[in-house]
Structure 1
């Protein structure tokens, strides 16, 4: 397993991109503030387009079928949760928010490793299903938190880690959203983001719903993150980004 380290990213001239894509910014000759405003507006419009279509695409299926897919052996085969948990290191007694927790696929596994987990999701149906799972299996160290689409609902410095798996492309106004995530994370903590390469893969959302590594990095830099660790080798179809 090879891990690339980028500390700090701002000092790099070229950012490695597993997807073979680079974000190109338009050069404008209009007054000084206009390119910045247009740049942010374009990001926000693209975020709304992708998140809206991604949410609609996912919810074409009933929640029961989604949960079955989320918890399937087929997912285990490519998601490799044990390898992901090893990659996260010692999480015992750490407070971790799992954004887009869904059926609790990672929330339960994090709790089993001793973490104090906040399983967060925008879906009332997913939260109800996870509540029943917690009660039926007498699971400990997991609390539920229904969150709005535009806010992670974190208190300042509330968590040691935020984990977001296969959910980044569902979020609107991502730079603003993850600025709030950063505020809710302790100064010693980190954001861990796992999502699909922007390429054709046997699993995952359609290509036009996927977000490239360098677009993620651009948006997270706008949110206030400056240090990144990018892993493109651990999982067959997904990249992992640790951000501080």
Structure 2
């Protein structure tokens, strides 16, 4: 349990570990692809390798996660038609991103993350796997940078990492188009075998208050689907 908690605490401290070219005399063995970092103003050649990014990717993709995260059931419950544009905020390793891409053959997934290393990883995997309906966006800690044409915003275990939550959610609200949907999943309080320490969790009462304060309307709560997480659906009024 201690090891899992230490990895959860790692996330806000992560530095980018993967560059778009060779850096610090390290041999780049990846397939060269069009670099999304340069396009978004990140100096990839100045980035230092940092093993913890790969460690966090491995943590997010661990096999036992599927049993309690139930990604296929979560995606099915959203009721996608296959043509939507969906933003995966805090996409990380692309755990949900690549699953969403299969459900949106006529749509698109926009993977959003503050970590250039994560964005580089998703972009590289999408390019080398010939997946054409995934785009990437590097966000900032005070701006989610959701494209204005997005139909659904998806956030799984992201909000507890945000420091100024009220301001951040208000910014997100202004970026989303009217009647678009927001899927919010966060770990429950209490002694559960997964998730971050209690000190950085958000209570359900606080979460609902924050969302209402930002202007979002609660339209549905999935109370039985996930054992360790709250799962809410909101709508921009």
Per-residue CA deviation, residues 196-222 of structure 1 (Å, 9 max, x unaligned), is 001111111111111111111101111
2:220 maps to which residue? 229
> Quick one: higher RCO (CA 8 Å, sep 6+), 1 or 2?
1
| Matched position secondary structure for 2:206 | helix
Q: How many angstroms apart in 2 are the aligned matches of 1:149 and 1:57?
A: 13
* Cα drift, residue 181 of structure 1: 1.7
1:189 maps to 2:180: yes
2:12 equivalent in structure 1: 55
* C-alpha distance in structure 1 between counterparts of 2:14 and 2:130, whole Å: 33
Cα RMSD for the two superposed structures: 2.4
Instruction: Identify the match of residue 166 of structure 1 among 133, 157, 167.
Output: 157
Measure, in 2, the Cα distance between the counterparts of 1:127 and 1:140. Answer: 15
SS at match of 2:180: strand
Corresponding position of 2:146: 154
How many correspondences in the alignment?
193
How far, CA to CA, are the matches of 2:232 and 2:219 in structure 1?
Answer: 7
In structure 2, the residue matched to 1:143 is 135
Note the 1:94-133 alignment, pairs <5 A.
Answer: 94-114=84-104, 115-133=107-125
Counterpart pick for 1:72 among 53, 62, 68: 62
Matches of 1:158 and 1:231 in 2, distance apart?
26
Name the SS of the counterpart of 2:155 in structure 1: strand
Asked if 1 retains the 8 angstrom alpha-carbon contact of 2:100 and 2:109, the reply is: yes
Q: 1:91 to 1:179 in 2, by over 3 A?
A: farther
4+ long deviations beyond 6 Å: 57-61
CA contact (8 A) 1:162 1:181 kept: no
Q: Does the 8 A contact of 1:98 with 1:118 survive in 2?
A: yes
Partner of 2:71: 81
2:43 paired residue number:
none
In structure 1, the residue matched to 2:202 is 211
DSSP 3-state at the match of 2:211: helix
Deviations 1:32-72 (A, max 9, x none): xxxxxxxxxxxxxxxxxxxx997249999711111111112
* Residues 114 and 140 in structure 2, CA contact (< 8 A), matched pair in contact too: yes
Q: Which runs of 5+ in 1 are unaligned?
A: 1-51
In 2, distance between residues paired with 1:91 and 1:174?
Answer: 31
Please, which moves more after superposition, 162-171 or 186-195? 186-195
Query: Which segment drifts farther, 208-217 or 176-185?
Result: 176-185
Aligned equivalents of 1:222 and 1:126: distance in 2? Answer: 30
* Pairs within 5 Å for 1:9-48: none
Task: Tell me the TM-score normalized by structure 2.
Answer: 0.75
Note the C-alpha offset of 1:121. 0.2
